[in-house]
Amino acid sequence: MGPVNWTGVVIAAIVAGLVALGWYGPLFGRAKLAEVGPGRLAGRRRPGATFLTTAILLFLTAAMMGHMFARVGPDTLDAKPWLYFMMSGGLALFFVIPALWLSYAHQRISTRLAGIDAGYWLFAYLAMGLVFWVGG
């Protein structure tokens, strides 16, 4: 196992946060607002707490991804760079998104909102994989 790329972990968490700003801002912000209503969005009453929670959880996600890539090792990743995207995208597609959809189904949250959130997690995880690939 190689060492965890902690610089990559921090940058990946920041990049995932930036993806969220774009995803839930100009791209799908109005659609999400229309779906849940203006008074039901998390963080409207305490945006600082929501930001801190989001930052911590994205850092933990990036740290686990960094550990996963360290476990695979730099030699394997150099020989097979597509593993960054296969592994990060696979985590989103086969763990995060199904858990999200299952939870949303039990809460009777719309398919439209589930699709918006699922798309974010897929792009955020792929963006984190890109950060680790570029940062080697």
CB-count burial class (<10 Å; 0-12, 13-18, 19+) for 82? exposed
pLDDT tens digits, 44-91: 567 778 889 999 999 999 999 999 999 999 999 999 999 999 999 999
Q: How far is it, in rounded angstroms, from Cα 76 to Cα 98?
A: 28
Confidence (pTM): 0.90
Decide if 90 contacts 72 (C-beta within 8 A).
Answer: no
Angle between the N-to-C axes of helices 29-36 and 111-135, in degrees from 0 to 180, rounded to the nearest 10: 140
